[in-house]
Amino acid sequence: MIRHLFALALLLPSLPLQAAELPPVRLSQATDLQALGDQARARDLPLLVMFSSAHCPYCMIVREEFLKPMLRSGDYADKVIMAEVEADETPITDFDGRTRSALDVAQRYDATLSPTVVFLDPDGHELAPRLVGITTVDFYGGYLDEAIDQARSRLRKLAFQDPAR
């Protein structure tokens, strides 16, 4: 038995290692919030928008450790539409169809700290408490899930109260 384990140990380094290659996933950079709102309306889903800033290490953690894996899993495809807005002078189309700087849109949502994650209805109204910064990585995924569930529940209630929505 030990001889077989020894032989296996000698062979392992020569076997090609197949790293689990994950498909590339991008968190879309929002350039047209009105179009995202239209997609959300058509699919009866809330929007998750992360306001970020360039060179923000906490934004990278939220993007790489939470949002991208959520997208990659496919488990959130029928729960929420995700996008990112880098709060700078880049022009974007707002929910009302007007062109504004991404910074102006971020300021309207009081997203002065990065990252700020907001949960919106198709018209850009907040549905759940926002997540500002990242305090505890261990609990952040749970906070995201809870806020997504709250946003979905509130969106359903709004649709029930106003079926014309």
Residue 93 is predicted with a pLDDT of 97
112-154 pLDDT, tens digit each: 999 999 999 999 999 999 999 998 899 999 999 999 999 999 9
Residue type present at position 149: D
Q: How confident is the model at residue 77 (pLDDT cuts 50, 70, 90)?
A: very high
Indicate whether 5 pLDDT > 50.
no
Q: Are 49 and 30 in contact (CB under 8 A)?
A: yes
Cβ neighbours for 76, distance < 8 A, ≥ 6 positions apart: 70, 82, 148
> What domains, with CATH codes, occur in the chain?
25-161 (3.40.30.10)
Cβ neighbours for 14, distance < 8 A, ≥ 6 positions apart: none
Cα–Cα distance for residue pair 70/73, rounded to 1 Å: 5
Q: How confident is the model at residue 11 (pLDDT cuts 50, 70, 90)?
A: very low
36, burial (CB in 10 Å: exposed 0-12, middle 13-18, buried 19+): buried
Residues 21, 48, 104, 102, CA torsion sign: positive
Q: Are 115 and 134 in contact (CB under 8 A)?
A: yes
The pTM (predicted TM-score) of the whole model is 0.82
Instruction: Tally Cβ neighbours within 10 Å of residue 43.
Output: 13
Residue 8 is predicted with a pLDDT of 43
- The token pair at 92 is 């974007």
